[in-house]
Amino acid sequence: MGLTEQLTQRASQDTPDPHNQRREVQAVFAETVNNFKLFYQAVIEGGFSQSRLLSQIINGLSDVAGLNNYQTEAMIFNTRFQQHPFAIALCESTLEVQFIYKLAIKYNLPIRVRAGGHDHEGECSGSNTILIDVSRIKHFSYNSCSEVATIGAGYRFYQLTPKLAECGRMIAHGTCATVGLTGFIQGGGWGPWTRKYGMCCEHLVAATVVLGNGEVVEVSESCEPEILWALRGGGGMSWGIVTELKVKTFELPDEIHRFEVIWNTLSKSKKGSYEPLCQRPTLEILKAWEDAIQATDTPDLLGTNLKINAIAESADNCALPYDKLYHPCTMYGYWQGTEQAMRDFIDQTFGPIKNNAAKPKITYAKVGGKVKLKGKAKGRGAPTYSYDHTLLSNWARESLADQDIPLHHDLQKQKQAFTPDYDAPAPHKITSKLVNQTGLSERGYQQLLMSLTSPLIQANNPSVGLFSYVTLGAIVGDFYHSLKEECNALGVSFPYRDCLYTIQYQTWWNESVKDKLELQNNTVYVDTNRAMDWISASRSTEIDGAYGAFISFKDASIPTPIYFQQNYERLVKIKKSYIMDDYNHLRTRKTII
């Protein structure tokens, strides 16, 4: 008797047997496990390299002592999630992706797709799935006539930016060096170039995609333009498996500086906890930063974000008005031009201060631009560019090298302050909102700052490696000020082009190697639950003048339509009409359907 007949016979029983009901569910899973065995056999018989098809049973040695290849490849960026796929297929071409995907759906196995692995909710992988990893698809070329770079889906920014710099070109990349371009551009693509060049999705001109039926299609503005529109900020995976991107580039500036302006630094109190210095009220810093990003005469400020640390609510600050609160604040800036012009901009933005104790700490470094050639090499060929990886260091994260060193204190001793950490994987939780084009009301300012002064934050959190804060990422700037599209232009599906900036609530912990080795014995775990509760409270906090959520800062608790706003219904129609995915194989919790 087959499985179907057994289930039909049991269903006809008048009185359900709980034991049999449990067995019925297990029988379905047993069929899935058997299908995986058939899938694995078919993949190997089809010529796919067994060394690149990893499973919990069949794998090879890795270069990490104590772990096999499957275990090392299974890790994703947010280490709060531990996924266990049936198999990890390390694909090296579009044809291999197509082959693996077709076999997976033939055997009715769920799939996940991973490039950089930075999905904050872990949706780039999954237990009991076939994980299609495209990180080894790394071909690159640049067309100087069209100024378009053709980029394999496996590139991460720290691998891609040197290749672009060799051509004297760049794309509007992000701030984290290990993010994969493919997921980044489908999420919209905010980064340190946004004020000058917009979101990265604005520059996507074509892509190669494996659709839901397993067929490969080349999309562009003249071929399947609806799919291209969806890829420009409509979220990952919904639109097929992307294996190649064509992105319009721009010329690298002659001189690039990266800087930090630091207020209200954390200082160790007599009680042993970290508390902010009272240099300048947070509200004043926030408003000055807002004025700078909205200005129409700051073209050399390519991009910026403002980080504001959450602080513990205490007897000292709970009675203070919101405009008298002090939070540690750091403005990160990305400057095109000379060092002097950059320093003049900082002075103008925050105003001259006579009291030395109240002056911000400023660190900066030249991190890119044209290289001056010497001797006989001078004047030969195209100019040479440098593009330092410090442009991709930890903009929106904090790392604690020593528990006894207050935040940023050690940076003052270094001329080159930005040692890149390449954003090593770490457990975390985030959520987000965006500020509309009219900005926050006074009530909105109060709501934002009060959400950052919380009884859920503990004063000693930084000392044990637990950090909770917001990063405000500037969207408004020259690009969107001057954006004038024709009425028939394709546009982008990213729905927040007219917003001023993003609000990204974050909590991270256990970032140093020392802390990771301590595992569950680390004192950081005492307060992580409260920090996670702070994220939940922040998600539901009303901030007058803010709305929506940014899909790249994914929070699975936010309903999907909120991420895509006015474009949601069109995106649903595109998924149903063009992606040829009748059984919705291309799905995760936060895909469009």
DSSP 17-37: -HHHHHHHHHHHHHHHHHHHH
> Quick check: 539 and 555 in contact, CB under 8 A?
yes
Token output for 114: 């991973």
Q: Does domain 140-251+564-579 have CATH number 3.40.350.10?
A: no
pLDDT value of residue 319: 84
- What backbone torsions phi and psi does residue 25 show, to the nearest 5 degrees? -65, -40
Token output for 512: 């140093």
In CATH terms, are 3-133 and 140-251+564-579 the same topology?
no
| Residue of 432, 480, 478, 490 whose CA lies nearest to 187 | 432
Task: Note the CATH architecture for domain 3-133.
Answer: 2-Layer Sandwich (3.30)
pLDDT value of residue 156: 95
Question: How far is CA 520 from each of CA 510, 532, 534, rounded to the nearest angstrom?
Answer: 10, 17, 21
Rounded Cα distance, 185 and 11, in Å: 48
Domain range list for the chain: 3-133, 140-251+564-579, 255-372+382-558
| DSSP H helix total and E strand total for the chain | 16, 24
- What backbone torsions phi and psi does residue 151 show, to the nearest 5 degrees? -130, 125
Rounded Cα distance, 233 and 76, in Å: 22
Rounded Cα distance, 516 and 89, in Å: 28
Token output for 548: 């929506």
Rounded Cα distance, 591 and 561, in Å: 10
DSSP state of 130: E
DSSP state of 332: E
Token output for 342: 């950059």
- pLDDT values of the chain reduced to their tens digit, one per residue, 593 residues: 666 676 666 666 667 788 888 998 899 899 999 999 999 999 999 999 999 999 999 888 888 888 999 999 999 999 999 999 999 999 999 999 999 999 999 999 999 999 999 999 999 999 999 999 999 999 999 999 999 999 999 999 999 999 999 999 999 999 888 999 999 999 999 999 999 999 999 999 999 999 999 999 999 999 999 999 999 999 999 999 999 999 999 999 999 999 999 999 988 777 666 789 999 999 999 999 999 999 999 999 999 999 999 999 988 888 899 999 999 999 999 999 999 999 999 999 987 666 666 788 888 888 888 886 554 444 555 678 888 666 665 555 554 333 333 334 443 444 334 444 556 888 999 999 999 999 999 999 999 999 999 999 999 888 888 999 999 999 999 999 999 888 889 999 999 999 999 999 999 997 676 777 777 888 888 999 999 999 999 999 999 999 999 999 999 999 999 999 999 999 999 999 999 999 999 999 999 99
CA 551 distance to own-chain centroid: 9
Q: Residue 568 corresponds to which amino acid?
A: Y
Rounded Cα distance, 508 and 511, in Å: 8
- What backbone torsions phi and psi does residue 296 show, to the nearest 5 degrees? -100, 5
Rounded Cα distance, 445 and 106, in Å: 54
CATH for 255-372+382-558 is 3.40.462.20
- Counting Cα atoms < 13 Å in the Cβ hemisphere of 73 gives 28
Alpha helices in 167-260 (DSSP H): 181-186, 194-197, 225-231
pLDDT value of residue 272: 67
Token output for 9: 């016979």
Rounded Cα distance, 39 and 170, in Å: 41
Contacts of 501 (CB under 8 A, 6+ apart): 290, 293, 305, 434, 435, 472, 473, 474, 475, 476
| Helix, strand, coil percentages for the chain (3-state, nearest 5) | 35, 20, 45
**Looking up tokens 């990952």, which residue turns up?**
236
Rounded Cα distance, 504 and 433, in Å: 7
> Quick check: 425 and 78 in contact, CB under 8 A?
yes
Token output for 336: 């095109």
Q: Give kind and range of the element (H or E) at residue 518.
A: helix 513-518
**Looking up tokens 């770490």, which residue turns up?**
426
Strands 311-312 and 453-454, sheet pairing:
parallel
DSSP per residue over 417-451, as a string? Answer: -----------EEEEEEEE-TT---HHHHHHHHHH
Buried b (16+ CB within 10 A) or exposed e, 325-346: bbbbbbbbbbbbbeeeebeebb
State the Cα torsion 452-457-462-467 to the nearest 10°. -60
pLDDT value of residue 397: 56
Alpha helices in 65-132 (DSSP H): 69-74, 94-106
pLDDT value of residue 488: 85
pLDDT value of residue 13: 61
Q: Give kind and range of the element (H or E) at residue 468.
A: strand 466-474
pLDDT value of residue 387: 82
Rounded Cα distance, 54 and 100, in Å: 13
Contacts of 55 (CB under 8 A, 6+ apart): 40, 70, 86, 87, 88
- Counting Cα atoms < 13 Å in the Cβ hemisphere of 237 gives 28
> Quick check: 206 and 218 in contact, CB under 8 A?
yes
DSSP per residue over 539-559, as a string? Answer: HH---TTEE---GGG--TTS-
pLDDT value of residue 381: 59
